[in-house]
Amino acid sequence: MVTYIIRRLIGALAMLFIVSAVTFSIFFVVPRLAGVTPDDIANRYVGRAATAETVQAVAQKLGLHDPVVVQYGRWVKGVFVGSEYDYGTGVEQCPAPCLGYSFVTKQPVWPDLVDRLPVTLSLAAGASVIWLVIGVSVGVLSALKRRSVFDRGAMIIALAGVSLPPFFTGLVALSLLSYGLGITAPGGAYTPLTENPGMWAYNLILPWLTLAFLNAAAYARLTRAGMLDTMGEDYIRTARAKGLKESKVIGKHGLRAALTPIVTIFGLDVGILVGGAILTENAFSLQGLGKYATTAIAANDLPKIMGFTMLAAFFIVVANLIVDLLYAVVDPRVRLS
């Protein structure tokens, strides 16, 4: 098991290296092929009012004329040991992990990401618990009550859930529950968990439900399909023939075998969500990583986009690693193999 974990860790680090190299190439190699010069990039730092000599001097100090491999090596070094930047107004120290400086604000990217992270983590934690509990529960009940009114109704709602985009359901929920009935908090409200747990949950309950509606629908359909396949297996009939309680047959033998695909998509969904719930955060005006990413894209702020991409990739790779380790817990056959 230790060897397996070490092997997976090495694979995760290799994947992050590949993602960083590809992302860096997209942001700094492709523009060159499109005719963007190093001076054009330096001009984003110093502003349009700067003289041509100032722009060239800053481009030289930033190393933008260096080969792309050298620039990428300098960026990787900054992630681990920090870096220095000189925009013509003095040397700026960027401590590790240094993901560069914003073109617009001239501030380090990493502290901005850390400031936005609690909002996205809160959104991901609450929504994932809700959609996992509701989705799996509805899927199990639908499988046990196959072709009943409950089954058909649940699957119709699930179909609507996976079909409607979150920004649509979010805006409808805001209009009805927040601005219409005044039951939930308005968009943009967020209170840190450490300050007031009650207000933290109250402000996020509507975004949680919006995200949970989308994902719980998919989980319900997947759980139902898995349970229908599992409950017809020979070992289920054997467990019933032994006289085991139906709840034990369903929970220990049926559901556990059907959880393998659920664990897979749950880990990836949470990793993607932590990387930035872009549509939901924009619908509710939450200042998380998703809102940060859309603002950076609109401003063509490459260092911010690069930093967000790497942080999102990190969460997805870590989630994938955890899923691989959980396989052995959920399915004993994985341990044996």
Distances from the Cα of 3 to the Cαs of 8, 15, 94, 320, 329, in angstroms?
9, 18, 36, 17, 17
Q: What is the pLDDT of residue 187?
A: 76
Q: What is the pLDDT of residue 122?
A: 92
Question: 3-state class of 86 per DSSP?
Answer: strand
User: Which residue in 236, 276, 270 sits closest to 256, CA to CA?
Assistant: 236
Q: What is the pLDDT of residue 54?
A: 82
Cβ neighbours for 12, distance < 8 A, ≥ 6 positions apart: 317, 318, 320, 321
Q: What is the pLDDT of residue 118?
A: 92
CA distance 59 to 65: 7
Record the tokens describing residue 219, joined without a space: 């989980």
Q: What is the pLDDT of residue 332?
A: 61
Record the tokens describing residue 147, joined without a space: 């072709």
CA distance 164 to 212: 12
Cβ neighbours for 179, distance < 8 A, ≥ 6 positions apart: 186
In order along its 337 residues, the chain shows pLDDT tens digits of 678 778 888 888 898 899 888 888 887 777 777 777 888 877 877 777 778 888 888 788 777 788 888 888 888 888 888 877 655 555 667 788 888 888 778 788 999 999 999 999 999 899 999 999 999 999 889 988 888 898 889 888 888 877 888 778 888 888 888 888 888 888 777 888 888 999 999 989 988 988 888 888 888 888 888 888 888 788 888 888 888 888 888 877 778 777 778 888 888 888 878 866 788 888 888 888 988 989 888 887 888 888 998 898 888 888 888 887 777 666 666 654 5
Give the pTM.
0.81
Delineate the domains of the chain, giving CATH numbers in brackets: 2-98 (no CATH), 110-330 (1.10.3720.10)
Cβ neighbours for 259, distance < 8 A, ≥ 6 positions apart: 226, 330, 331
Q: What is the pLDDT of residue 114?
A: 92
